[in-house]
Amino acid sequence: MLLTSPTVVASIALLTVAVLVYRTVKSPLWKVPGPTVSAFTSLILKWHELGADRTLYIQALHLQYGPVVRIAPNEVSFTSWAALKEIYCSGGSGYEKTEFYDLFTIFGRRTMFTTLGKTDHAKRKRILADRYANSNVMRGSAIAGIQERSKRFIARCTAGGLAAHDVFCRAYQVALHAYACDCVTHHLFHPEGTDSLRDVHDEEMMHQVAADDSFQNRLVSFYAPTLHRLASGILNFWWKPRETPLVEQYVQQTSKQAEAEPFTLLSRLREKTGDLDEVDTAAECLDHIAAGIDTTGDGLCFLMWELSQPRSRDIQQRLQAELRASPDAPLDQLPYLDAVVLEGLRCFPPIPMSLPRYVPSGGRVIDGTWLPAKTIVSCQAYSVHRLNPSVFPAAHIFNPSRWLDEDGDADRRRLMFAFSNGGRGCIGKHLALAEMKTLLRDTYSAYTTTPHASMSEESMAMADQLISSRPRDQKCLLHFEPLDSSSVAGLEH
């Protein structure tokens, strides 16, 4: 009786609010700059996550509040080198990952990417690292496979003459994602890599991974597992669950049966059979496929879109001039190509979002702010690359030449966060760079690219997925116009 009295209910509610306010105000995070609402609830942040614009929301907060911003009651975002170094590089591999990475477990197993603790991660990395070393990526049939796939990509893009070709991934159309898929599976399984540039079944399989629209569904399963369990029928109607049966089957079969060449990851995993069972092996390989398709594909897509704009005409011409002047130069001796790729990854990082980590026990001072253990801290490449004006002046401008200036070179390179930094940075970095440079070299030694009239900046706006981003309309129509017949002849396949 007493409990239903309005006075008692109001008193309990008031007391609860008072305790909440008291605890919030007394929290060590209270003084961290940020909107007041972030101190009380993470709902606004989650709303932006579901709306696919978390990255831009955090960017706006940094613009308003500075390099340290509280984005949720227990979460702080940073943009400075001091913070980046502490969070991602201290002790070699930085702070431990949060349970956010549970969203990416495969076949119920943790892979190198989803391992949270440092010790387990270091053990797994010791097994895998040598196959992704630059010397292994750039040798013999490893690099020859990339070159072959790049020529296939160009052949598909130019098969219809001047007609526009969709260089982004759409069902049954030629795509940068197909190129990235064929390159990464070549590195994992050769000779059993995919041929999604030419084979419809492989393209369909690639498409399941690349055009996955499940991020909202997965976010709900992460934040509200009970709701997800109870209401999955309704949720699945609105937001698709992740379903990639074709690639799962391919990886499970291939990782069991294939005779893989010595440069491949699979051959390495075979040498280490005592460390990983069949399911671990398949999960690790599938993870690398997923990690290597959207990232390289979207990175190239945003970059080629930018190069195709009238405002980038001089840049495209300078790139063409360098490539045509040195047709046989090794990839690492083409400084402007390198600058174009770095600037592409700076302006359009394929993983633009926060990479969340826990403050270790005992708490830490990060960029002058003391934070208790278990606070979630992160940097996001999108903001790191745009909000350090002394290192990246006029950061909103796509300007590859900034990377040619010897002055400040070390500062720029250490703030390049597209592949993250420290011991948990991208293991596939050299593979991705080889793929990007090879395809750009083949394209711009022989063609000029221009945007199709139907394309707009809005359709190419960044849309966040779970951790990566992609163009909002998932298409990017470009024309490929031959520079002259002699340059094209070498690329015909």
Nearer to ligand HEM by Cβ, of 301 and 315: the residue is: 301
Nearer to ligand HEM by Cβ, of 68 and 355: the residue is: 355
Nearer to ligand HEM by Cβ, of 251 and 432: the residue is: 432
**Segment interacting with ligand HEM (CB under 6 A) among 59-67, 219-227, 289-297, 309-317:** 289-297
Helix axes 200-210, 278-307, angle to 10 degrees: 90
With binding defined as CB under 6 A, does residue 89 bind ligand HEM? no
Q: Give the torsion sign (CA, 42, 47, 49, 54).
A: negative
Report the residue from 78, 81, 95, 113 that binds ligand HEM according to the rule CB under 6 A. 113
With binding defined as CB under 6 A, does residue 352 bind ligand HEM? no
With binding defined as CB under 6 A, does residue 299 bind ligand HEM? yes
**Segment interacting with ligand HEM (CB under 6 A) among 15-23, 201-209, 285-293, 369-377:** 285-293
Nearer to ligand HEM by Cβ, of 118 and 452: the residue is: 118
Helix axes 335-347, 278-307, angle to 10 degrees: 100
The nearest distance, CB 446 to ligand HEM, in angstroms, is 23
Please work out the total of residues on this chain that contact ligand HEM, with binding judged by CB under 6 A.
22
Binding mask 16-55 for ligand HEM (x = CB under 6 A): ----------------------------------------
Beta-carbon count within 10 A of 364 CB: 18
Q: Which of residues 388-417 bind ligand HEM (CB under 6 A)?
A: none
With binding defined as CB under 6 A, does residue 295 bind ligand HEM? yes
The nearest distance, CB 26 to ligand HEM, in angstroms, is 32
The nearest distance, CB 412 to ligand HEM, in angstroms, is 16
**Segment interacting with ligand HEM (CB under 6 A) among 17-25, 43-51, 228-236, 349-357:** 349-357
Please state the φ and ψ torsions of residue 394, each to the nearest 5 degrees. Answer: 45, 55
The nearest distance, CB 420 to ligand HEM, in angstroms, is 4
Nearer to ligand HEM by Cβ, of 80 and 450: the residue is: 80
End-to-end, the C-alpha distance of the chain in Å comes to 84
The nearest distance, CB 433 to ligand HEM, in angstroms, is 8
d(CA 440, CA 335): 13
With binding defined as CB under 6 A, does residue 296 bind ligand HEM? yes
The nearest distance, CB 483 to ligand HEM, in angstroms, is 26
Nearer to ligand HEM by Cβ, of 79 and 448: the residue is: 79
Nearer to ligand HEM by Cβ, of 153 and 448: the residue is: 153
d(CA 78, CA 378): 6
| CB-based contact 121:109 (threshold 8 Å) | no
The nearest distance, CB 352 to ligand HEM, in angstroms, is 9
Report the residue from 181, 184, 315, 342 that binds ligand HEM according to the rule CB under 6 A. 184
Report the residue from 146, 197, 285, 291 that binds ligand HEM according to the rule CB under 6 A. 291
Q: Which residue is nearest to ligand HEM (CB)?
A: 428
Nearer to ligand HEM by Cβ, of 357 and 364: the residue is: 357
Count of positions (residues) in the chain: 493
The nearest distance, CB 6 to ligand HEM, in angstroms, is 50
d(CA 306, CA 128): 34
Place of tokens 């030449």: 401
CA dihedral 219, 225, 230, 235 (to 10 degrees): 0
Beta bridge partners of 464: 469
Q: Is residue 183 marked as binding?
A: no
Q: Which of residues 413-442 bind ligand HEM (CB under 6 A)?
A: 418-420, 424, 426-428, 431-432
Nearer to ligand HEM by Cβ, of 187 and 479: the residue is: 187
Six token digits for residue 177: 């994602």
Report the residue from 109, 118, 125, 472 that binds ligand HEM according to the rule CB under 6 A. 125
Report the DSSP pairing between strands 165-166 and 477-482.
antiparallel
**Segment interacting with ligand HEM (CB under 6 A) among 54-62, 162-170, 197-205, 287-295:** 287-295
- The binding site for heme comprises 426
Residues forming contacts to ligand HEM in the complex (CB under 6 A) are 112-113, 125, 184, 288, 291-292, 295-296, 299, 350-351, 355, 418-420, 424, 426-428, 431-432
- The binding site comprises 426
